[in-house]
Amino acid sequence: YQGAASSTGDYGAASSTGYQGAASSTGDYGAASSTGDYGAASSTGNRSVAMACGIEGKAKASAGSAIVLCYRDTDAEGDDYARIVHIKAAIAGQDGVKPDTWYQLSADGEFVEVGE
């Protein structure tokens, strides 16, 4: 719950699995992943990946690095609650996805800028 993980060396990985957790990777070729609900992942190194797959997760990455996000259905009930509706990846600095900018995935499966 609200934990943080960071990786600062090249080829490093940081993973946060709890509710409102944060993961950050600052080295080149690194990875940051946040799997808990309302989590955040950021990757500032070259050729890195930031992935958030929990409910309303957000991610940001430096230019040339990847962002991976999921959208989950929180309106469903029972076994369908929080099912994955969309998953999308992009490279920051391409196709309208800005580097060093926080994003979430919308219900339509599109990247949407969000605040800190």
pLDDT in tens, the chain (116 residues): 788 899 998 999 999 888 888 999 999 999 999 999 999 999 999 999 999 999 999 999 999 999 999 999 998 888 889 999 999 999 999 999 999 999 999 999 999 999 87
User: What's the pLDDT score for residue 44?
Assistant: 92
What does the alpha-carbon distance between residue 111 and residue 106 come to, in Å, rounded to a whole number? 6
Q: What's residue 30's pLDDT?
A: 93
Q: Which residues pair with 60 in a beta bridge?
A: 42
Tally of CA atoms within 13 A in the half-sphere of 65 that contains its CB: 28
Q: What is the predicted pLDDT for the residue at 28?
A: 92
Q: Which residues contact 83 (CB under 8 A, 6 or more apart)?
A: 72, 73, 76
pLDDT of 48 reads 95
- Give pLDDT, residue 104: 97
Q: What pLDDT does residue 67 have? A: 97
